[in-house]
Structure formats: structure tokens, C-alpha cells
Chain A
Amino acid sequence: MSILTIYHLVAIFLLCIGLFGIVYRRTLVGIVLGIELMLNGAGLSIMASAQLTPTPNELGQVGALLVMGIAAAEATLLLAILLVVSRRFKNVDAGKLITMRG
């Protein structure tokens, strides 16, 4: 087992625990937490694949930076969507949001 495998297993753990959180949580905020975990695992995996192999290091570092930028954009939008949903439905329970009418 090489070092890269250990890093990849950690990234897979983050992906799986994020998926678990998305299915298990009831509120939308809890689901957002799961998504953040999964994105972090993606960044870690990209980074390890470039740093620990002969691939140029810049490739992985820039990839991890882009993942972070996407996560930031996604968090901004999710905050706005959560605000709108909580104003309209008075709660953010994922099981109770069953209508999409505008």
C-alpha cells in the first residue's frame, strides 16, 4: 500500500460519509454539510494524485483551487435558496418540501 492509496482512501471516506449525510439528514442545512464534505474529498483526491506522482504539481494545486472556488459559489447560492425556501415554507425540512409551484 503506497502513500497515495492512503490519501485516496481518506478521500473515499469523505465521499461516503457525505453521501451518508445527504441521505440521513432531515434538514436542508444538514444536506449542505454533506455536500461540503464530498467536495472536500474531491479536492483532497485531486491534490494527492498530482503531488505524490510525477504529474506536474501545478495541475493538482490549481485543480484543488478550482474545486474550492466552485464550493464557495455553491455555498453562496445555497444560502440564498435556503433563505427563499425557509420564507416560503416556514421550515427547511427536506421531507416536507413537496411542491415546486412558483
Chain B
Amino acid sequence: MDNLVNENLAWVVLFGHIAIIVAGGFITVLSESLIRALMGLILTLFGVAGLFFLMAAPFIGLMQILIYVGAVSVLIFFSIMLTNAWPGGDERGNIKGKKVIFAALAALAPAAFLGSAAVRTVPPSIFVPEETEVRELGRFLLEPYILPFELISLLLTVAMAGAVMLVFDRRKKK
């Protein structure tokens, strides 16, 4: 009995988060104001974080909230503020028939191929995933995955240095 209640609860949580993700995705691409679109993106990110929690990976879920919701969306907010993409009017008057058709085609092509592939190949999946300790994760990152770990630190350094260089260069010329 208890098990059944838990299972039903898991389904409710799964489809609730999927509903949040779908709603957030549509808000992100369709809303006229960019601030609202950003809020939709944050909603989607929270939904994906919830799915990570549901997959018994609380560490990655927390990282998702910390990195995406905490850092990336703040960066995008800054870029809305600092550029002239003013929230009120920039995406207004967007509805051109041709563009909507192209966009829908671009979205539906991978949906058709990948969706049919995903539905047709059904690998056996585990219903109750196991939780991995953070200690194990750290060991994995430092022993077999040391090269990607170092490469991503290099990538972050280069990205930050590049961002600073780009903006400084323009300022000096002025």
C-alpha cells in the first residue's frame, strides 16, 4: 500500500515537472517581452532541476539551480539590461507568416526523426535509480575524467579572459 502511494506520487511529480517544463518553454519562445521570456526560461530550468532530483541526483539538481538559475540567467538579465533590447517593444510585431512556418519546420524536423527513434528503441530502464555519493563523483572526476575536468577549467578561463578582452578593447578605442 505504502509502495503504491509512493509510486503514484512519483508519477504525479514527474508529470507535474514535465508540465512546468513545457509551459516554461512556450513562455520562453513566444512571449513578447524579453523579461517574461527570461522568467519562462527560469521556470524551465527549475523544472529540469526537479527532474534531476527525481532521478536521485540531488547534487546535480542543486548545481543546476546554482549555475543556471543563479548565474546564467543573471548574465542574460544583464545582457537584456545593457543592450538596447528593451523589454517592451523589441519582439513586438514579430508575427510574420513565413517566419512562423520556417520556425515550426525547424522545430518539427528533429522532433519527427528523434522522437520516432526514441519511441521505437525502448531500452530497459530502471524504475528506481540509485543515488551516487558526491565523494564517488569527485573521485570519478579526478581519476578517469581528469582530462575533461582540466579542459573545462581551461575553457572557463579562456572564456572569461576573452569576455574581458572584448569589452576592454572597445572601451580603449573610444
A residues sitting closer than 8 Å to B (CB atoms) are 1-10, 12-30, 32-34, 36-37, 40, 43-44, 47-48, 51-54, 57-59, 61-62, 64-66, 68-88, 90-93
Interface size on B, residues (CB 8 A): 81
**Assuming the A-B contacts A9-B118, A14-B44, A32-B76, are A73 and B156 also in contact, with contact meaning beta carbons closer than 8 angstroms in the complex?**
yes
**Assuming the A-B contacts A4-B123, A47-B52, A82-B79, are A68 and B68 also in contact, with contact meaning beta carbons closer than 8 angstroms in the complex?**
yes
B residues near A12, Cβ cutoff 8 Å: 110-111, 114-115, 118
Give CA–CA (A64, B37) in the complex, Å: 24
A residues near B119, Cβ cutoff 8 Å: 1, 5, 9
Contact B60 A64 (CB under 8 A): yes
Which residue of B25, B45, B129, B167 contacts A52 across the interface (Cβ within 8 Å)? B129
A residues near B156, Cβ cutoff 8 Å: 69, 72-73
**Chain A residue with minimal CB distance to B155?**
A73
Give how many A-B residue pairs fall within 8 Å (CB-CB).
251
Contact B145 A62 (CB under 8 A): yes
A97 shortest CB reach to chain B, Å: 12
Question: Could you pull out 13 A-B pairs where Cβ atoms are within 8 angstroms?
Answer: A2-B122, A2-B124, A17-B28, A19-B103, A26-B94, A27-B85, A27-B90, A32-B76, A44-B48, A62-B141, A64-B52, A79-B163, A86-B85
Q: Which residues of B, 24-62, contact A by the 8 Å Cβ criterion?
A: 25-26, 28-29, 34, 37-38, 41, 44-45, 48, 51-52, 55-57, 59-60
**Assuming the A-B contacts A4-B125, A5-B118, A51-B56, are A16 and B91 also in contact, with contact meaning beta carbons closer than 8 angstroms in the complex?**
no
**Assuming the A-B contacts A14-B21, A16-B111, A24-B29, are A29 and B79 also in contact, with contact meaning beta carbons closer than 8 angstroms in the complex?**
yes
Give CA–CA (A76, B148) in the complex, Å: 20
Contact A77 B163 (CB under 8 A): yes
**Assuming the A-B contacts A1-B119, A10-B18, A73-B155, are A29 and B55 also in contact, with contact meaning beta carbons closer than 8 angstroms in the complex?**
no
Interface centre among B38, B41, B79, B103 (most CB of A within 10 A): B79
Contact A75 B25 (CB under 8 A): no
